[in-house]
Amino acid sequence: MSYSKVDNYNEEITGKLMTSYRDVLGALGEDPDREGLLKTPERLAKAMQFLTQGYHLDAKAIINSAKFHEDVSQMVIVKDIELYSMCEHHMLPFFGKAHIAYIPNGWITGLSKLARVVDVFSRRLQVQERLTVEIMNAIKETLNPLGVAVVIEAKHLCMMMRGVQKQNSVTTTSAFDGEFQKDSTRSEFLKLISADLH
């Protein structure tokens, strides 16, 4: 019995991307018909669709799918959320972790939904600065909390593999709204995401 993998991809998009990637391989001086490269255009076409699936996802709908009325107003933090994205300038990956907090104002959402929101926006061609703000805005506009905070720490392969080739640099971006614009609240959040509480 032979192995058969079932994938769900848009066949039209896959075909167009495969043609383009064959041309790219040829332009780089490779032979697209070489055994090791025969399936590379198809693999790339499917990989790119997977890595950019966030264009077809709705962050607000995800949060609303598990939105609950709860009379609490204490800070909720989900930290160390893994993220993988693609730099829109060089289409090379950047990866790291996101830390999210919000202060409920009558509504909470399932904790996993915050991680899914990170995926929605990271699975697009991105810059880290915009990614940080988009995550914050989706939570703000859906839950209407008293405040939202997002901090992202990431390594960028466009800095590590090419250009300045700095292997140990980490980029940190932050976005704060509402109560997190106050020094005391922001400081509490930053202290908690820095603490090793596990």
**153 part of the active site:** no
Q: From the centroid of its chain, how far is CA 137?
A: 14
Candidates 87, 126, 134, 179; catalytic one: 87
- Candidate list 30, 153, 158, 188, residue with the active-site label: 158
Catalytic residue among 56, 82, 89, 129: 89
Q: What is the DSSP string of 115-173?
A: HHHHHHHHSSEE-HHHHHHHHHHHHHHHH--SEEEEEEEEEEHHHHTSTT--SS--EEE
42 is catalytic: no
- Kindly state the helix (H) or strand (E) to which residue 96 belongs, with its residue range: strand 93-103
Asked if 156 is an active-site residue, the reply is yes
Q: How far apart are CA 131 and CA 124, in angstroms?
A: 9
Q: Please pick, among 30, 53, 90, 188, the residue that the annotation labels catalytic.
A: 90
Phi and psi based region of residue 71 (left: phi greater than 0; alpha: psi -120 to 50; beta: remaining): beta
Q: Any idea which residue has 């202290």 for tokens?
A: 191
**Catalytic residue chosen out of the listed positions 70, 88, 129, 141:** 88
Q: How far is residue 117 from each of residues 95, 104, 120, 139, measured CA to CA in Å?
A: 16, 17, 5, 8
In this structure, the strands spanning 125-126 and 76-87 are: parallel
Examine the residue annotation and report whether 89 is marked as an active-site residue of this protein: yes
Q: Is 56 labeled as catalytic in the residue annotation?
A: no
The C-alpha angle with vertex 119 and arms to 91 and 99, in degrees rounded to 5, equals 105
- Assess whether 158 carries a catalytic annotation: yes
Query: Which residues are part of the catalytic machinery?
Result: 87-90, 128, 156, 158
